[in-house]
């Protein structure tokens, strides 16, 4: 895993060669990437200060501070210096920051993010700055006023925007994911319905109220549509809904058991599994309305859960039990050249292909009596890195669009809940609480 992130850092650095800002941080990024899996640039984030002492302003300022801290903490590219080491004082404006106080060994922050929050008249506005303590000539890396509605959502949104801007600048040009979302299923209302929530578990709301069964949601690459399995009309069938207005799109009914839809990287087609033409499920590809379908696998076995290589669109990974137990295979997108990728036995399911095309995260049960755990398979070396440690079943990993995080479902605390972690298995946080929550799918960047 450490190596993965090193490679990621190198790629990230290469991608931003044209961007003058990357020179600021290129060096330390690579060095720290080898040591901990986190790029680890040190940043101090003193509390943003409320401009007035009214209750609303203080409440929104506190919320903003919490969300900004969490976003940066879970970004995977920064090390936050503990506030107990900071100099005494309030840091609301440029005049409040004395660089020499932040660079003494006890603090040793390369960056300081600070500012102030103003609320009133239905608006909240935040004056936010990111200062580079090691660049006296070019101190202010970010200086921006953000505005939104005077609500908790507004304060959250601004914190996410500022955090993403910091991450993009320091993390080698790869955007932060704090404005992305997860779709998943929950039975908290009784029946299993689709829900959408922010990447940190906030603002969860139902997308369906079918009172049937829904499963296996998948985002279209543009984040506008969600394809999923629905039992509303009898057996398992694919449906598509707009995330924005819940408008349904037609997907031609296939017959048999039809499930596990996955969008092609260009959004024009859907790979899925169906038993429409036989006695077991096979992998098919169709236009995203279900027409012009083509069968890709021919095997007397369960073939299911196709995922495209999101980088090239030229390969599809899938699950098949053609050798007796479920295992992960890759084939060319035309159905040829099928090869098995996990060769150490057990049951390997839930493939999720990383955004850079280099890795496949999956759930692996090494023997019938063991739990499922999340692993990452490196396609170049064939190595499998274990990310979770058998605390209950850990299943259905899904990559964030920056490739630095994975969400998954786990029964570690009893009922199945959704968690996220960094792609090296650290910084696990629980995102759902009530009911049984399953099958997370992480969105791409949502047109910010």
Going across the sheet that includes 269-274, the strands are: 258-263, 269-274, 282-287, 294-295
Output the CA angle 392-427-148, nearest 5 degrees.
Answer: 120
The reply on whether position 350 binds other proteins by CB under 8 A is: yes
The reply on whether position 331 binds other proteins by CB under 8 A is: no
Q: Which one, 264 or 281, has the nearer CB to other proteins?
A: 281
**Which two tokens mark 218?**
């998948």
Q: Kind of pairing, strands 327-332 and 339-340?
A: antiparallel
Shortest gap between Cβ of 276 and other proteins (angstroms)?
Answer: 11
Q: Write each residue from 241 to 260 as x if it is in contact with other proteins (CB under 8 A), else as -, in one continuous string.
A: ---------------xx-xx
Beta bridge partners of 242: 225
Please identify which residue in 305, 352, 354, 417 interacts with other proteins, judged by CB under 8 A: 305
Shortest gap between Cβ of 64 and other proteins (angstroms)?
Answer: 38
The reply on whether position 216 binds other proteins by CB under 8 A is: yes
Distance CA 130, CA 146 (A): 13
Shortest gap between Cβ of 62 and other proteins (angstroms)?
Answer: 40
Q: Kind of pairing, strands 315-320 and 303-308?
A: antiparallel
- Structure-derived torsion over alpha carbons of residues 284, 289, 292, 293, reported in degrees to the nearest 10: 10
Q: How many CA atoms lie within 13 A of 297 on its CB side?
A: 32
**Which two tokens mark 283?**
């992998």
Q: Is 394 in contact with 410 (CB distance < 8 Å)?
A: yes
The interface with other proteins within residues 65-124 (CB under 8 A) comprises none
User: Looking only at Cα atoms, what is the longest distance across the chain?
Assistant: 73
- Candidate ranges 68-76, 100-108, 286-294, 342-350; the one touching other proteins (CB under 8 A): 342-350
- Candidate ranges 51-59, 160-168, 217-225, 279-287; the one touching other proteins (CB under 8 A): 279-287
Q: Is 416 in contact with 155 (CB distance < 8 Å)?
A: no
The reply on whether position 439 binds other proteins by CB under 8 A is: yes
Residues touching other proteins: how many (CB under 8 A)? 37
Name every residue whose Cβ is closer than 8 Å to that of residue 409 and which is 6 or more positions away in sequence: 184, 394, 395, 396, 416, 417, 418, 419, 437, 438, 439, 440
Q: In 3D, which of 412, 346, 402 has the Cα closest to residue 375?
A: 346
The reply on whether position 236 binds other proteins by CB under 8 A is: yes
The reply on whether position 437 binds other proteins by CB under 8 A is: no
Please identify which residue in 208, 281, 358, 437 interacts with other proteins, judged by CB under 8 A: 281
Distance CA 18, CA 357 (A): 23
Shortest gap between Cβ of 444 and other proteins (angstroms)?
Answer: 21
The reply on whether position 235 binds other proteins by CB under 8 A is: yes
Distance CA 130, CA 123 (A): 23
The reply on whether position 302 binds other proteins by CB under 8 A is: yes
The reply on whether position 234 binds other proteins by CB under 8 A is: yes
The reply on whether position 407 binds other proteins by CB under 8 A is: no
Please identify which residue in 163, 326, 361, 441 interacts with other proteins, judged by CB under 8 A: 326
Please identify which residue in 229, 352, 354, 432 interacts with other proteins, judged by CB under 8 A: 229
Residue with tokens 């290129």: 26
The reply on whether position 394 binds other proteins by CB under 8 A is: no
Distance CA 229, CA 217 (A): 7
Q: Which one, 66 or 322, has the nearer CB to other proteins?
A: 322
Q: Which one, 111 or 408, has the nearer CB to other proteins?
A: 408
Helix, strand, or coil (residue 163): helix
Shortest gap between Cβ of 321 and other proteins (angstroms)?
Answer: 7
Contacting residues toward other proteins, per CB under 8 A: 192, 213, 215-216, 229, 231, 234-236, 256-257, 259-260, 273, 275, 279-281, 302-305, 319, 321, 325-326, 347, 349-350, 363, 365, 368, 372, 395-396, 438-439
């Amino acid at each position: 895993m450490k190596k993965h992130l090193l490679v990621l850092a190198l790629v990230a650095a290469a991608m931003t060669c044209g961007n003058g800002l990357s020179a600021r941080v290129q060096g330390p990024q690579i060095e720290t990437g080898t040591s901990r899996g986190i790029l680890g640039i040190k940043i101090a984030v003193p509390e943003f200060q409320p401009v007035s002492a009214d209750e609303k302003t203080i409440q929104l300022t506190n919320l903003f501070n919490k969300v900004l801290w969490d976003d940066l903490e879970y970004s995977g590219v920064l090390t936050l210096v503990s506030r107990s080491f900071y100099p005494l004082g309030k840091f609301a404006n440029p005049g409040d920051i004395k660089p020499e106080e932040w660079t003494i060994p006890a603090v040793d922050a390369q960056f300081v993010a600070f500012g102030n929050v103003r609320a009133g008249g239905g608006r909240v506005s935040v004056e936010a700055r990111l200062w580079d303590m090691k660049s006296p000539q070019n101190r202010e890396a970010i200086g921006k006023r953000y505005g939104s509605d005077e609500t908790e959502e507004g304060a959250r949104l601004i914190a996410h925007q500022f955090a993403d801007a910091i991450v993009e600048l320091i993390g080698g040009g790869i955007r932060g994911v704090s404005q992305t979302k997860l779709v998943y299923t929950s039975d908290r209302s009784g029946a299993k319905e689709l829900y959408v929530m922010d990447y940190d578990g906030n603002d969860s709301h139902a997308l369906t109220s079918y009172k049937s069964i829904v499963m296996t949601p998948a985002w279209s690459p543009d984040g506008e549509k969600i394809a999923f399995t629905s039992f509303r009309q009898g057996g398992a069938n694919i449906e598509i809904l707009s995330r924005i207005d819940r408008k349904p799109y037609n997907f031609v009914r296939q017959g048999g058991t039809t499930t596990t839809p996955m969008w092609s990287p260009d959004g024009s087609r859907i790979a899925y599994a169906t038993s429409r033409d036989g006695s077991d499920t096979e992998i098919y590809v169709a236009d995203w309305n279900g027409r012009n379908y083509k069968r890709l696998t021919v095997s007397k076995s369960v073939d299911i859960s196709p995922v495209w290589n999101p980088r090239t669109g030229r390969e599809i990974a899938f699950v098949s039990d053609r050798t007796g137990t479920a295992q992960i295979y890759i084939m060319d997108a035309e159905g040829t050249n099928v090869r098995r990728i996990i060769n150490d036995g057990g049951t390997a399911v839930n493939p999720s292909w990383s955004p850079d095309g280099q890795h496949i995260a999956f759930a692996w049960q090494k023997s019938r009596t063991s739990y499922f755990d999340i692993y990452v398979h490196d396609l170049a070396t064939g190595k499998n890195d274990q990310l979770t440690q058998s605390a209950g079943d850990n299943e259905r990993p899904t990559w964030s669009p920056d490739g630095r995080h994975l969400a998954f479902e786990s029964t570690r605390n009893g009922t199945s809940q959704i968690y996220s972690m960094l792609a090296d298995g650290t910084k696990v946080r629980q995102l759902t609480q009530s009911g049984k929550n399953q099958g997370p799918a992480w969105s791409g960047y949502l047109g910010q």
